[in-house]
Structure formats: structure tokens, C-alpha cells
Amino acid sequence: MSTLRQALYGIALLASIALLIWAQSQQIEVSDQKTGRAKDAADAALARATRSEETAAQLLASLQHERTAQTALRSVQNQLRQGLAARQRTIEELKRENAELRLWANQSLPDAARRMRERPAITGAAAYRDWLSGRRALHPVSD
């Protein structure tokens, strides 16, 4: 009986070793699958980060371009303001020097010119069309 008992213990020992090896192989497979998923997630995160960096670089370049354009527009605006101020000074100087020009500049505008400068608050194309075809439209000057 002792040899039978030893044989059974040997078989039980082999079965437990086999079960342990099988459990280890299952754990290795699960770990490999988790590693694969983690690698896929890391690759996806890296791709997203790369796209985000490219987008950030494009936005930065666009921002720099916009800032350059704004600087140029400010420069043009300043030049236009200086030119307008110079013209207004010239007009005022001419008014001071020339009495005939001063009298002409102080006259009120004719009705037709005054109506051209009057504009109601227009909101949209339909309102503009109605305003253009309204009762107060200017008529062509006859010969």
C-alpha cells in the first residue's frame, strides 16, 4: 500500500505541478494581452500627442501671421490718420487764408446732397432695398 500511496502522491504532485504550470501560462497570456493593449493605448496616445503638437504649431504660426498682419494694419491705420490730420490742417489753413473758401465752406449743403448723407438704421438687404426705392430717392437732374 505504501507504493500505491507513493504513486498516488506522485500523480497528485504531477497534477498539481501541471495545474501550476497551466495557471502560470494563463497568467502569462493575460499579461501579454494587457501588455498589447497598453502598447496600443500608448501608440494611440503618442499619435494624439503628435497631432496635438502639429495643431499647436499650426496655430502658433497662424497666430504669428495674424499678429504680423495686425501690426501692418496698425501701421497703415496710423499713416492714414496722419494723412487725414494733415489734410484737415491744410483745409483749416486754407479757410483761414481765403475768405471766399471760408464762406463756401460755411454754407449749408443743398437738399439733394443733404438727403444723400441721411441714412436710417439699415438692418439687412431687404431694408436697404426698401430704403433705396423709398419716397425720398434722388431723381436724376434734367438738362
* pLDDT (average), residues 28-53: 94
* pLDDT (average), residues 16-25: 93
pLDDT at site 32: 92
At 135, list the grid cell.
419716397
pLDDT at site 63: 96
Determine what percent of the chain is predicted with pLDDT higher than 90: 56
pLDDT in tens, 96-143: 888 888 888 888 888 877 777 776 677 888 887 877 777 555 566 665
Total residue length of the chain: 143
User: pTM score, two decimals?
Assistant: 0.46
